[in-house]
A and B are shown apart, each in its own frame.
Chain A
């Protein structure tokens, strides 16, 4: 095959589109023809030249295309996250949310710890506080009074330590005695 006849096949080979028989003929010719080998290089180079012509996407091309498609009615407009109707409710909703948050935090502030005072110092204790005789209004047994006295000591150990003598602490109401009344002595028991 002479050079003139093989050129179109060389072009197809460069593009990877030659049939197997055609490719074999081209390979055979190129093996012995320097001029056609040079031509094959030039054909490849102009193909690469087309690839190098890329151009650039124009600025705001997307916006222009979509605006035109929307104006021609072939593309639906994008749905807004907050349509116009919603905007009228946005401010009152935001205000309600802010008010709710304020009220919540205010209630927490109201419920905050009460500053401790002398009358209430004993309220915060892990030991359950039995009602005082005055609060209860009912007559307490001796055992109950002893329990109350013990609670007082536990809440305020200083009251116990200051006397330094357990026997000196009057745990009993005046006139009472831990012992059964002595019918012979009468009156109060104890020291």
Chain B
């Protein structure tokens, strides 16, 4: 089976079939990433189309200096970031925790964890899922992207660092902060 890098080289040299194969392999991941970043199905579809357009346009100058998926997510993140900026979302606002809330790291509402159910088989109620999606959408874009790329798309901290153009330490901190903010937001929602 040809690697992603080989397919990209073949597409660069004019093979339509190579691009079709790349699309077949990665379109679900691209749509998922766009959905998690934008939180809206229509916006996710537009962003995903834009991502493939950018990948195709970049083919003539593509050089396999990094893993294809790392490069693909770099393109994807820029596309969704542009979308979010175009819709005037403030991507860098850090929510301020209410005083005394969440400072000791324990949040009022217990969420199901691996001791309660197998994490891979956790079934979220629709209402909780919608609240989670909304809470994710309120994270600063850089924190959201780091968390989504690592937990949602399975990229390592090092790969996330490459995609975002930051250090591994910065990725570690962003993901930790993303978790704190999500837990704080969800506990406020559930206790309301």
Contact = CB atoms under 8 A, between A and B. Distances in A.
Chains A and B form a bound pair: yes
Interface string A39-79: 11111111111111111111001101110110010111010
Contacts of B32: 53-55
Q: Is the interface of A mostly helix, strand, loop or mixed?
A: helix
Contact of B152 (A38, A50, A57): A50
A75 B60 CA distance: 12
Q: Is the interface of B mostly helix, strand, loop or mixed?
A: helix
A2 to B, nearest CB: 10
Contact of A48 (B104, B106, B119, B156): B119
Interface residues of A toward B: which range?
Answer: 35 or more
B14 A11 contact: no
A53 B53 contact: no
Contacts of A4: 104-105
Contacts of A39: 105-106
The 7 tightest CB contacts between A and B, nearest first, are A41-B113, A55-B35, A11-B176, A74-B56, A47-B151, A45-B111, A50-B151
Interface of A: 3-4, 7-8, 11-12, 15, 17, 35-36, 38-58, 61-62, 64-66, 68-69, 72, 74-76, 78
25 contacts: A4-B104, A11-B176, A12-B157, A12-B172, A15-B151, A17-B172, A38-B106, A41-B113, A45-B111, A45-B122, A47-B179, A48-B122, A51-B152, A53-B129, A53-B133, A57-B27, A57-B28, A58-B31, A65-B23, A65-B27, A69-B53, A69-B56, A75-B16, A76-B16, A78-B16
Interface of B: 14, 16, 19, 23, 27-28, 31-32, 34-36, 41, 44-45, 48-49, 52-53, 56-57, 59, 104-107, 110-116, 119-120, 122, 124, 129, 132-133, 136, 147-148, 150-152, 156-157, 172-173, 175-176, 179-180, 182-183, 186
